[in-house]
Amino acid sequence: MKGLTLMALALIIGGSLSARPQSRDEATLGLSAVRYYRATPAAVQTLVDVFCRVPLTLVSPLGGEGSGAAFRVAVAVRDSNGLTLTTPSWSAAVPAAMLRVRGASTAGHLSFVVKPGRYTVAVTVTDSATGRVAHQQTAVQAFTGAPGGSDLLLGTDIRAMTGPADSALRDGELRKGALVIQTSGDPVLTPQSAKLGYYLELYPAQAESATVVVRVLKATGEPVIATPPQRVAVAAGGGVTQGLVDLAGLPAGRYVLEVKAAGADSAVTRTAPFGMTGFETMATAQTVASSGEDLFSRMSETQLDTLYMPLVYLMTSEEQGVFSTLSLEGKRTWLRQFWAKRDPTPGTTRNEEREGFYQRIAEANRRYREGGSSAVPGWRTDRGRIFIKYGPPDEVLERHQSASSPPYEVWKYTRVRALKYVFLDLTRFGNYALIYTDDRREPSRPNWEELLGTEAVQDVQRF
């Protein structure tokens, strides 16, 4: 064990359940490592977090239909001479409900500290029911000296610990100083949970103020969106830049988060991959909008999921959180019952409320598709949401070529009572976010006037 100290070993089950994009190979064991620089007066060390993703397509039910599964994980960490430094292993049970989730996976986490050198982490997963074995390995190059920054760690949430009483970690959480990150190493976002957390340690030679810019890139390297620059004070002993990026509306696929931190005498760029789940084209919704038939009985589960997602705009609190737990037939029944409650003409073959809703979805997709090459569907945008819920505005003020502020639009409704909605393209990539409204049912950003600028605020007030 010379040169390596085993710091932590944890299997993450509930917190790491995810549904991955269908373009991803769902039968591949995933393995990734994130490195951080650590130094003592006596030695240079590298702290390594290793994450192992186990797709549930690799395991089989232990009994008949409706039973759960189990598997065993064995890890071996070896140095460049082939010497095995540690061989932790563990077993995990998988509830039957998780096996029914398309694209689901669980993740394991291992942390260790090593001296400079090259190491190999090999993982073997054995299915308890069939004995089927999956292998994967990754190389880890430990730091020989202080780098500009650590590797980039991504997660689906990041929070500050509130005090000594807040010391117990939940499933899937990883502690970094006073921060807690929900992570499986290679996160996958969903339309319901679309915030991406990032954590990057910086190691400047002296104290400085760094400018940090975060960008989302397509897998091909094309930029999708970028955050405004922010200033971060970094002490001579090192510091951290971290945050949460709201990526609601990002279409399904694989992406890269890029974090750039530039100081007076240093510049660090780090990237890490992540995924976004999606749903089939809204042509499915168009089909429902143009037909009075009960098409649910002939639809695939993915098509049913497509029809379900926009219903977040209509659902009551009692109706939320149920659909994803249902079987295929259960989802069909749920959708039938959902629309039956809202049918203005029960007993007829047509449901005018349902048809009108999906017609607005289709129209929002046509009018408000955003994001340039990222092709965010219109129903997932703020403008599309307001259009779907309240219909077309009575008046629109467009300022797409403003010199003093980013492009913005103002929508005014006057039919029932006067309401304004202000949408701002913060990133200038064509993604308009709702920043202000006098509608108490919708949120406004507290700094909306600062984001918009003095002249634009006056323009909005005059409209």
Confidence of residue 135 (pLDDT cuts 50, 70, 90): very high
Residue 383 lies in a domain: no
If pLDDT is split at 50, 70 and 90, which confidence band does 350 have?
Answer: confident
DSSP state of 95: -
Q: Cα–Cα distance between 320 and 232 in angstroms, integer?
A: 39
**Using 50, 70 and 90 to split pLDDT, how confident is the model at 181?**
very high
- The answer to the question of residue 386 being in a domain is no
pLDDT of 170? 75
Which pLDDT does position 291 carry in this prediction? 55
The reply to whether 378 falls in a domain is no
Q: 415 and 333 in one domain?
A: no
**Cα gap 344→192, rounded to integer Å:** 29
1 with 108, same domain: the answer is yes
Mean pLDDT to the nearest integer, 120-145: 95
The confidence score (pLDDT) of residue 4 equals: 38
- The verdict on residue 379 lying in a domain is no
Report pLDDT for 371: 59
In a domain, 404, yes or no: yes
Of the chain, the percentage scoring pLDDT greater than 70 comes to 86
Pair 121, 180 in one domain:
no
Same domain, 199 and 134: no
What integer pLDDT is reported at residue 41 of this predicted model? 84
- 188 and 263: one domain? yes
Q: Residue 2 pLDDT more than 60? A: no
Query: Could you report the per-residue pLDDT of 428-463, keeping only the tens digit for each?
Result: 767 788 999 999 888 899 999 988 888 889 999 988
Span 117-129, pLDDT tens digits: 999 999 999 999 9
Burial 220-247 (b: 16+ CB within 10 A, else e): eeeebbbbeeeebebeeebbbbbbebeb
**87 and 37 part of one domain:** yes
- Is residue 212 domain-shared with residue 74, that is, in the same domain? no
* Side-by-side strand order, sheet with 173-176: 157-160, 179-182, 173-176
Q: Is residue 19 over pLDDT 60?
A: no
Query: In terms of pLDDT, which residue wins out, 416 or 217?
Result: 217
Q: Provide the domain count of the chain.
A: 4
Look at residue 197 in the predicted model and tell me its pLDDT: 94
C-beta atoms surrounding 300 within 10 Å: 11
The mean pLDDT of the chain is 83
Residues 28 and 110 in one domain: yes
Residue 72: predicted pLDDT:
94
* Range of the structural domain that residue 293 is part of: 279-368
Average pLDDT of span 141-165: 90
Specify the higher pLDDT residue, 269 or 442: 269
- Domain match, 21 and 127 both: yes
For residue 411, what pLDDT is reported? 96
Same domain, 78 and 128: yes
Residue 185 corresponds to which amino acid? G
Phi/psi for 200 (5° steps) reads -140, 125
Give the end of a domain, one of 145, 173, 206.
Answer: 145
Greater model confidence, 161 or 229: 229
Of 48-52, 200-204, 374-378, give the lowest mean pLDDT range: 374-378
CATH number for the domain including 265? Answer: 2.60.40.3880
How large a percentage of the chain has pLDDT more than 90?
Answer: 39
Q: How many CB atoms lie within 10 A of CB 139?
A: 10
Domain stop point among 351, 368, 385: 368
Instruction: Identify the CATH number of the domain in which residue 133 sits.
Output: 2.60.40.10
Confidence of residue 6 (pLDDT cuts 50, 70, 90): very low
Asked whether the CA dihedral 27, 28, 29, 31 is positive or negative, the reply is negative
Q: Is 286 found in the same domain as 271?
A: no
Q: In what order do the strands lie in the sheet with 239-246?
A: 153-155, 195-202, 239-246
Identify whether 374 is part of a domain. no
pLDDT at residue 100, rounded to an integer: 67
Does 292 lie in the same domain as 203?
no
**Of 97, 123, 145, which marks where a domain is finished?**
145
- Residue 384 placed within a domain: no
Paired tokens of 395? 């008046």
Rounded CA-CA distance 284/307 in Å is 7
Average pLDDT over residues 303-320: 84
Pairing of strands 105-114, 44-55: antiparallel
Q: Quick: pLDDT tens for 74-119.
A: 999 999 999 999 999 989 888 876 776 666 778 888 999 999 999 9
Partner residues linked to 423 by β-bridges:
409, 434
With bands split at pLDDT 50, 70 and 90, how would you rate the model's confidence at 67?
confident
Is 385 within a domain? Answer: no
Least confident of 61-65, 188-192, 288-292: 288-292
